[in-house]
Amino acid sequence: MQLQNAGAWGALASAPDTGAAAAAEDGAAAPDAEAGGEAAPETDALWDEFQSREQQQQKRDEEKRAQEARLQEEKAKVGPTLSEALI
């Protein structure tokens, strides 16, 4: 395996840890939902945005299915198209 940008990896390896692992080493609880605490505000905002987008997508999917159902009903009322009648 060839390591690209070894200098950057070296800087990351020697950088002080400021995350949950550092908090755990200091004896403090990690500030995340898995540790039983409150999630960071950025995490909440990202999760809220994800849920909002998921709800929007579900709404669009439902509208699309409803539109397709309306089109199928209209086709049934009109009858077969010319290409379908020729087959």
Kindly state whether residue 33 falls inside one of the protein's structural domains: no
Q: What is the mean pLDDT of residues 8-25?
A: 62
Kindly state whether residue 54 falls inside one of the protein's structural domains: yes
Residue 65: per-residue pLDDT: 97
Residue 30: per-residue pLDDT: 46
Kindly state whether residue 34 falls inside one of the protein's structural domains: no
| Predicted confidence band of residue 42 (pLDDT cuts 50, 70, 90) | confident
- Quote the number of domains for the chain: 1
Domain membership of residue 52 as a residue range: 40-87
For residues 83 and 79, give the distance between their C-alpha atoms in angstroms, rounded to a whole number.
Answer: 12
Q: How many Cα neighbours within 13 Å face the side chain of 18?
A: 3
Kindly state whether residue 48 falls inside one of the protein's structural domains: yes
Evaluate if pTM is beyond 0.85. Answer: no
DSSP at 5? S
Kindly state whether residue 70 falls inside one of the protein's structural domains: yes
Kindly state whether residue 32 falls inside one of the protein's structural domains: no
Residue 27: per-residue pLDDT: 55
Kindly state whether residue 23 falls inside one of the protein's structural domains: no
